Structures are given as C-alpha cells and as structure tokens.
Amino acid sequence: MIAPRLIVGLGNPGSEYADTRHNLGFWFVDRLADELKTQLAPQGKFFGWIARDGQRWLLKPTTFMNRSGQAVVAVARFYRIAPEEILVVHDELDLPPGGIRLKQGGGNGGHNGLKDIQAHLGTPDFWRLRLGIGHPGDRNEVINYVLKAPRKEELQEIDRALDRCLLAWPRMAGGDFAAAQQSLHTKIV
C-alpha cells in the first residue's frame, strides 16, 4: 500500500471563484487542513498555498486551473514524490452533486486541471478523488456552469460528500485505497 504524500485540491485563485463548483478541490483541502490542524501558507516557489502534515503535503495551486501541473510538479520534484503518491481532488461533471469516486489513473475527461497535471508529470497514474457537481446538460454551458456557485440543494449534497471524504481520509492516508473506495462508492440513503 502506497500512502499519498501530496494532496492537491484543484481550483482557481481569487475571491470571485471561491464559491464556484470548480473549486471543490480547494474546499476539500481547506477542510482537511482544519481536520489535521495545519495551516496553509503561500509559497511562491511552489506556485500555491501549502501545508505540511508529517511527511505529507497539502497544496492549493495559485496558478489558474489550466496551469495546475506547474504547482504539482514543483512540489513533487522538490520532495521527490512519485505520481502514485499524489492524490488530486477535483470537481467532476460526470457525477451528480454529492457523487464521489476515488480512482488511480485514467483519462482526464476534458478537465483542464487534470490535463495539465498529466502533461507536467508525464503520466496519468496519480490518484484522483472526483467530487460530483453534475452536468448542465449542454456542453456549451459547461464553462459558465463550473464557474458558478452550486444551488442550495446541490451544496447540501456536496457538503455531505465532503464530510464522507473526511471520514474516509484515515484509510486514504494509510494507503488503503480499496477500503476508502468501498466506503466512498457505497450510496448512502
């Protein structure tokens, strides 16, 4: 079992994006930092806000979404973190609000943050924690959709999903991704 050493929350910097669907990765990393009682601080050489928890690093890139790989590779190279030791947390159009999927590798589904990370790392073999935001129904509306705040009922589902991810965090932190997947992928009624 390989435990994650770098947890990256994807989002866009700036207060105008803080509450948008595209920033779910930031929301998770902020909650995880609170849970771990660690503080994120700006680090220019890593192009982001970073916190340390033992031998593990939390990162919120300050580059825009489509340049996320720059921050990820800066931290990964500096601390000699292999792609399979990286967990990227991001919004997912192909899951309903509150949906969660944890997986390693695979395609990027058109997600610009994932696309850039894959290009910078030279591999897709990092872990992803995919947090559902739903789809607007029309692909021409995707950009507007992800850059808007979730509706109240969607936000409730997303909050519950973030809580479930934090409950599964000890399993992920220990490298037991199979147990984490089992708990996260099981629909709670």
* Residue 89 within a domain: yes
How many domains does one find in the chain? 1
Q: For residue 51, what are the contacts with CB-CB under 8 A and spacing of at least 6?
A: 33, 36, 38, 39, 40, 41, 57, 58
The predicted model scores a pTM of 0.95
* Residue 1 within a domain: no
pLDDT number for residue 187? 66
Q: What does DSSP assign to residue 15? A: G
pLDDT number for residue 46? 97
Helix runs in the chain, H state only: 24-36, 68-78, 112-121, 142-146, 152-173, 177-185
pLDDT number for residue 89? 98
Query: Which residues in 22-40 are b (16+ Cβ under 10 Å) and which e?
Result: bbbbbbbbbbbbeebebeb
* Residue 166 within a domain: yes
Which residue, among 20, 18, 46, has the nearest Cα to 143 in the 3D structure?
Answer: 20
Which residue, among 73, 65, 172, has the nearest Cα to 110 in the 3D structure?
Answer: 65
Residues 22 and 146 sit within 8 Å (Cβ to Cβ): yes
- Rounded-to-integer distance, Cα 11 and Cα 22, Å: 6
Q: Provide the domain limits for residue 37.
A: 6-185
| Low pLDDT (below 70) residues in the chain | 187-189
For residue 22, indicate whether it is catalytic.
yes
Q: What is the CATH number of the domain that holds 134?
A: 3.40.50.1470
- Rounded-to-integer distance, Cα 23 and Cα 19, Å: 7
pLDDT number for residue 109? 83
Which residue, among 119, 42, 47, 35, has the nearest Cα to 78 in the 3D structure?
Answer: 47
pLDDT number for residue 152? 96
